[in-house]
Amino acid sequence: MTENYELNIILADDDEDDREFMGMAAMKTGIQLVSLVGGEQLLEYLETSSALPDGILLDINMPRLNGIECLKHIRQKSTWKHIPVLMYTTSDIDDYIKETYELGANMFIKKPNQLKMLSQITEFLVTDKDWTTQPQSMDKYLFEYKS
């Protein structure tokens, strides 16, 4: 990954529009975003990449290998388990939130319904490094958009 960027983030999401919109927001805030189509592609990328990312934005609802299964793989592998993983999904089902928290994800971000809210996510990633550690409480696990 290139050194000209402030952060190197992987986005694993099967939705092409979501990948494109997040890519546009990332470019504006100094984030190099590698967009991958799904969980299998994410794990393959991690296996073959010479450099690990600063973080992973991981969708839950993907075909074949979903985000929860990917998170389990990431947390079980010693060379990957320290990578911050932010669950990034339309699903805000309490069971998903609790399960991903217990599996060691660093944050849960509900996909925004407005494009301008994407910049809040990328600005947060660049300016607030709290997302890189496992939160001690559930209230710090859920990303809060500003009005």
Domains and CATH numbers, the chain: 7-140 (3.40.50.2300)
pLDDT classification of 114: cutoffs 50, 70, 90: confident
Residue 4's pLDDT is what?
Answer: 56
Q: What is the pLDDT of residues 27-46, one digit of tens each?
A: 999 899 999 999 999 999 99
Percentage of residues of the chain with pLDDT beyond 70: 97
Q: How far apart, in whole angstroms, are the C-alpha atoms of residue 124 and residue 118?
A: 10
pTM of the predicted structure, to 2 decimals:
0.93
Position 3 pLDDT exceeds 70? no
- The pLDDT of 123-136, averaged and rounded, is 91
Q: Which residues pair with 35 in a beta bridge?
A: 11
Average pLDDT, the chain: 92
Residue 84's pLDDT is what?
Answer: 98
Question: Residues 38, 64: contact at Cβ < 8 Å?
Answer: yes
DSSP secondary structure string for all residues of 4-61: TSSEEEEEE-S-HHHHHHHHHHHHTTTEEEEEESSHHHHHHHHHH-SS--SEEEE-S-
Angle, helices 16-27 vs 118-127, to 10°: value is: 50
- The pLDDT of 53-70, averaged and rounded, is 96
Position 2 pLDDT exceeds 90? no
Closest CA to 133 of 69, 67, 85: 85
Residue 102's pLDDT is what?
Answer: 96
Q: How far apart, in whole angstroms, are the C-alpha atoms of residue 83 and residue 106?
A: 9
- Judged by average pLDDT, the poorest of 34-38, 52-56, 120-124, 133-137 is 133-137
Please return the burial class of 138, using the count of CB atoms within 10 Å of its CB with bins 0-12, 13-18 and 19+: exposed
